Structure 1
Amino acid sequence: MRSFAVSALREPPFPAGRHAAADLVAAESAGWVRELGLLDTPAGLRRLSGANPAELAARACPDGPVERLRLLTDLISWLFVMDDACDEDGLGASPTRLAPTVARLLDVLDRHGDPAAPAPADTGPLGVALDDLCRRVRARQRPTLLLRLVSQLREYLLALLWEAANREQRRVPGVAEYVQMRRHTGGVRPSFTLTDLAHDGLPAPGRRADPALAALDALAADLICWCNDLFSYGKERDTAPDAHNLVVTIAAEGGRDEEAALRAAATRFNDGLAAYAEREAALAATGDEAVQAFLTTRRNWIRATYDWSLAASRYV
């Protein structure tokens, strides 16, 4: 199925980059995962290693301080571990099974990384690692980004409950519903925020609320998620069939066969990429340096996801 994605998807017309510290950060982040006990089995560690979160982070953030690249890598590792626990290890099989874990993680987020607060109790490695991420973000003294990250991670966790309810009821959501919720279940927005943290001079909060900028941000998240869905579809179909894929929702809603649904999903991505380029060009024409920096981070993420997906064993 990777061959279909390669042939059907338009390659993002953005320059590719890779942070020079990618290999160093990969080793350090893998040590963080082991030290905090996020994964404690050889199989789990191999699965995460094959996903290569540092490679994705290094492509999405090809410049900036090494310690902030490391923070982004650790977040992506945490998201991969959480996703796999839900999708492949059964934690997300029903909302009643997932809810206690979500409640404990929400309690961690409510602390906002407060260094004076005691370490979270009874949250398990996922909670300890999440608290560590929040504390490190708080230490950067960018409160607006910390609040944004906490809010986006809350949305991510609550969206996982939506997925769990669908699994329990064997429900396939409609395309519009899926597209909306995928922006949250994909973990893209908190990843954007930590990429923003690696740069200075980004738009102020008031500018970030501009409808044109917000719409471009949402479209960037959509493109990343749809690209992911097309590259991962074959593995999901063959090993753990799940309704949470753009191809599946298109097939169910339109009564299409697999090939037609795949082509419709690819067309949605390609049309979205063309629309993104047009909107980006209009915003870039303003000459605002802060907006230019914002556009660069989103462009890097779209290109990084495509390039990383070509090689990541996560989708094999």
Structure 2
Amino acid sequence: MRPFELPDFYLVHPARLNPHVEGARAHSTLWARQMGMLDDTRDPSTPEIWDADELAAMDYALLCAYTHPDCVPAELDLITDWYVWVFYFDDHFLEVYKKPRDREGAGAYLDRLCSFMGPEPPEPENAAERGLADLWARTVPAMSEHWRARFVESTQNLLRESLWELANISEARVPNPVEYIEKRRAVGGAPWSACLVEHTVGAEVPPGMAGSRPLRVLRDAFSDGVHLRNDIFSYQRETETEGEVNNAVLVVERFLGVGPRRAAEIVNDLLTSRLRQFENTALTEVPPLFEDHAATPAERAAVAAYVKGLQDWQSGGHEWHLRSSRYMNEGAGGGAPLGLGMALSRAAAVLEAATPSPLIVPYRKVGPVRMPEFTMPYRARVNPHIERACRNVIDWCGAMGMYGPVARHPEPLWTPALLSGFDLATCAASLAPDATADHLDLGTQWLAWGTYGDDYFPKTFLRDRDLPGARMFVARIPLFMPPDLGPTPPPLSPVETGLADLWRRTAASMPPGGRERFRSAVERMVRSWLWELHHHLQDRVPDPVDHLEMRRFTFGPDLTLGLARIGTEDRLPPEISGAAAMRAVENAAMDYGTLVNDVFSYQKEIEFEGERTNAVLAVEHLLGCGRDEAVAIVADLTTSRLRQFERAVAGDLPALAEEYRLDGEARQALDGYVTRLWDWMAGILKWHRETRRYPEPDLLARYPHHHGERLVLPGPNGLGTSATRVRLTHPV
């Protein structure tokens, strides 16, 4: 019995079929036989994986012909061989290592397989090794060193993260939604597919743009779309016959406590959201990226070809899932027609049935949120120098000009009394309970600077919908953090005045590497405020995945954790700070803090400030649920991220220390940093419970123009100015 009927999928780009598919079928079957992947040619010590009939039924040539509809025959043959190899690896790994739960053997196997992408590969001993050695030699000569590095990374991730899947299966552990999305990008292979798209279309992503937010989001949204769709189609096979626990439908089932049918609907809604994120990024973020990088016509054409290639892959991959014997696809598409030439009719049917995302009512009445019981087993400690920090931060903000009028605001944004109510010293004293008095002063003033900037930016640029002014503001920020501590230009706002002062006092004691990382953290935080403005200008609630990942910057945890690293960076190898296990620990801690903030700030942001970027709102928007249910879901997610943090600290970090053979001093530094992360999470929660930044009575006093259901906005009034006061009437 089928666990659910396949939903109607959002897909606006009809699939097209490469006319050279038959040649690729014949070639890939011959190649698989030559590599020893078929049962009649396999090593006798290898379990049966495929025979020729099974390979034909799975039809990877059809997959590649749909996902790469325009490439020439030789290129289609090469790409098809890559997909035969990757699916063979997946099925072989399942039989040989996943089912027997052989984690030690799997690790050795993967290490050796990765060596075939190195400068001196060994002699291949099995079908997977022979296939990779052959494909590597046929693929990389045509590409740049930059592309090769990215392709090696994505291929190694695809291979090595299989151990994560194996560990979950061995422990019968279903991951939490955030962990799953992030890990699935690596093990699912779609970033690897995106690299092959560049090869197929003959256009590499320019190195200077490859790490930018727009290109990263395009790749990640593409990857999530591929993986979420695959999880819906493969749910029955994976859960009923393979004992798999790494599937998005199952993840949603367990996290939300719903049945498979409802879970599949939610995964499909998230899939739709990710595809719309891809479209939004391509249309609204890529063009400004070209201007920022002064991209040449050739570079613009390369990115356009890459985007089109990803769109082709998304549509073609869906079409193949409807036909391959690997998946639950009988009756797929809700009765829509199958067959050559029918893709357009199915896309039209989905578009006709699709409802647009709900529009937003700015400043709608949401009322105070009843706070959930957030899980926090770690007691917040308070620095004994808190009183001094409280006095000094009030004086420092005055010296930086934060109590005076600024451009566009005749009334000051802050007063000493308002800042005192925010109680930022309590926050800093809990984040750094063991800091010296001077270090605590510095940390408190950084928090004040970031909080003032977080108020200044929207009140200046969101209010006036001033994107050019906001971009100019962001572009000036690096000028006040000279790496050599040299001169800075005259400041134009208290934000710039405060940054210039804090940078000199902070960076002087940092090693060069730590100084550059901290500078980047500040830049990323301020640049992320443009992302918030971007959604405000579109009246758009962000995609939930994009929201969570960007909140790691907008809330400023990267900055405050950078302060926590001071004193430990020179005792930890750089490989540790950049290791995937360390990033996973930090991301889990960051997500805990940002999600807590989104619950506490929900009324302030939605009702009093007309904001769009809040996790509670994003959950409401995705699931079509009410405020209280969304709050409960976000609170559950904080618990999941906390448990993942604990799990990683208990298992992944000790393994990392063993891998890099850390000495006693380095291990002590690593343990100390973990303690600071605990302090950070506990301190964030403590501060939110005590600050007067979010309770309704304080909001009413702070926003005197707020009158019940509507906000009296400053700005033009009278005949001909109605366009500046648009009110959208559809409920969220």
Q: What are the Cα deviations for residues 5-64 of structure 1, in whole angstroms up to 9, with x where unaligned?
A: 2x3322x10132111111101110110110110222587133322221111111111112
Residues 137 and 146 in structure 1, CA contact (< 8 A), matched pair in contact too: no
Q: What are the Cα deviations for residues 69-106 of structure 1, in whole angstroms up to 9, with x where unaligned?
A: 2111111111110111123x242233223122112101
Moved more, 217-226 or 290-299: 290-299
Of 148, 173, 176, 1:174 maps to 176
1:294 counterpart = 2:293 = no
Distance 1:308 1:255 in 2: 31
- Across the two proteins, how many residue pairs are aligned to each other? 307
Residues 203 and 294 in structure 1, CA contact (< 8 A), matched pair in contact too: yes
2:106 maps to amino acid = L
1:94 counterpart = 2:102 = yes
1:9 maps to amino acid = F
1:100 maps to amino acid = A
Residues 283 and 291 in structure 1, CA contact (< 8 A), matched pair in contact too: no
Residues 71 and 200 in structure 2, CA contact (< 8 A), matched pair in contact too: yes
Deviation at 1:264, TM superposition (A): 1.3
Q: TM-score, normalised by structure 2?
A: 0.40
Q: Match for residue 50 of structure 2?
A: 44
Q: Match for residue 34 of structure 1?
A: 33
Q: Match for residue 224 of structure 1?
A: 226
Q: TM-score, normalised by structure 1?
A: 0.90
Deviation at 1:140, TM superposition (A): 2.0
1:247 maps to amino acid = V
Q: Match for residue 64 of structure 1?
A: 71
2:257 maps to amino acid = G
Moved more, 39-48 or 194-203: 39-48
Three-state SS of the structure 1 residue aligned to 2:70 is coil
Distance 2:69 2:313 in 1: 10
Distance 1:8 1:94 in 2: 39
Three-state SS of the structure 2 residue aligned to 1:19 is coil
Residues 68 and 312 in structure 2, CA contact (< 8 A), matched pair in contact too: yes
1:23 counterpart = 2:31 = no
Distance 2:132 2:261 in 1: 40
2:22 maps to amino acid = D
2:130 maps to amino acid = V
Deviation at 1:122, TM superposition (A): 5.3
Distance 1:255 1:142 in 2: 48
Distance 1:141 1:189 in 2: 17
Distance 2:218 2:28 in 1: 31
Three-state SS of the structure 1 residue aligned to 2:74 is helix
Q: Match for residue 161 of structure 1?
A: 163
Of 245, 248, 252, 2:247 maps to 245
Identity value in percent = 24
1:175 maps to amino acid = P
Distance 1:141 1:153 in 2: 15
Distance 1:283 1:298 in 2: 16
**Alpha-carbon distance change, 284 to 307 in structure 1, aligned in 2, over 3 angstroms:** farther
Distance 1:44 1:120 in 2: 26
Deviation at 1:123, TM superposition (A): 3.4
Residues 38 and 50 in structure 2, CA contact (< 8 A), matched pair in contact too: yes
Q: Match for residue 125 of structure 1?
A: 127
Three-state SS of the structure 2 residue aligned to 1:147 is helix
Three-state SS of the structure 2 residue aligned to 1:170 is coil
Residues 120 and 131 in structure 1, CA contact (< 8 A), matched pair in contact too: no
Three-state SS of the structure 2 residue aligned to 1:242 is coil
2:151 maps to amino acid = L
Deviation at 1:240, TM superposition (A): 1.9
Q: Which consecutive aligned stretches of 4+ in structure 1 deviate over 6 angstroms post-superposition?
A: none
Q: Match for residue 202 of structure 2?
A: 200
Q: Match for residue 272 of structure 1?
A: 274
1:315 counterpart = 2:327 = yes
Q: Match for residue 14 of structure 1?
A: 13
Distance 1:239 1:201 in 2: 40
Q: Match for residue 114 of structure 1?
A: none
Distance 1:44 1:161 in 2: 23
Three-state SS of the structure 1 residue aligned to 2:201 is coil
Of 294, 310, 318, 1:306 maps to 318
Deviation at 1:206, TM superposition (A): 1.1
Distance 1:123 1:148 in 2: 26
Three-state SS of the structure 2 residue aligned to 1:315 is coil
1:91 maps to amino acid = Y
**Alpha-carbon distance change, 201 to 104 in structure 1, aligned in 2, over 3 angstroms:** closer
Residues 227 and 305 in structure 1, CA contact (< 8 A), matched pair in contact too: no
Moved more, 198-207 or 176-185: 198-207
Distance 1:48 1:147 in 2: 31
Q: What are the Cα deviations for residues 110-130 of structure 1, in whole angstroms up to 9, with x where unaligned?
A: 23xxxxx5x732531211110
Distance 2:217 2:143 in 1: 27
2:9 maps to amino acid = L
Q: What are the Cα deviations for residues 178-207 of structure 1, in whole angstroms up to 9, with x where unaligned?
A: 111111111222222122112234431112
**Alpha-carbon distance change, 183 to 43 in structure 1, aligned in 2, over 3 angstroms:** closer
Residues 61 and 300 in structure 1, CA contact (< 8 A), matched pair in contact too: yes
Residues 198 and 205 in structure 2, CA contact (< 8 A), matched pair in contact too: no
1:54 counterpart = 2:71 = no
Distance 1:2 1:62 in 2: 33
Residues 3 and 260 in structure 2, CA contact (< 8 A), matched pair in contact too: no
Distance 2:124 2:301 in 1: 45
In structure 2, list runs of 5 or more residues that go unmatched. Answer: 41-47, 291-299, 329-732
**Alpha-carbon distance change, 15 to 97 in structure 1, aligned in 2, over 3 angstroms:** same
Moved more, 156-165 or 144-153: 144-153
Residues 67 and 313 in structure 2, CA contact (< 8 A), matched pair in contact too: yes
Distance 2:146 2:65 in 1: 24
Structure of higher CA gyration radius:
2
1:109 counterpart = 2:117 = yes
In structure 1, list runs of 5 or more residues that go unmatched. Answer: 112-116
Deviation at 1:285, TM superposition (A): 5.0
1:214 counterpart = 2:216 = yes
Higher relative contact order structure (alpha carbons within 8 Å, sequence separation ≥ 6): 1
1:220 maps to amino acid = F
Q: What are the Cα deviations for residues 154-174 of structure 1, in whole angstroms up to 9, with x where unaligned?
A: 111110011111111111111
Residues 134 and 146 in structure 1, CA contact (< 8 A), matched pair in contact too: no
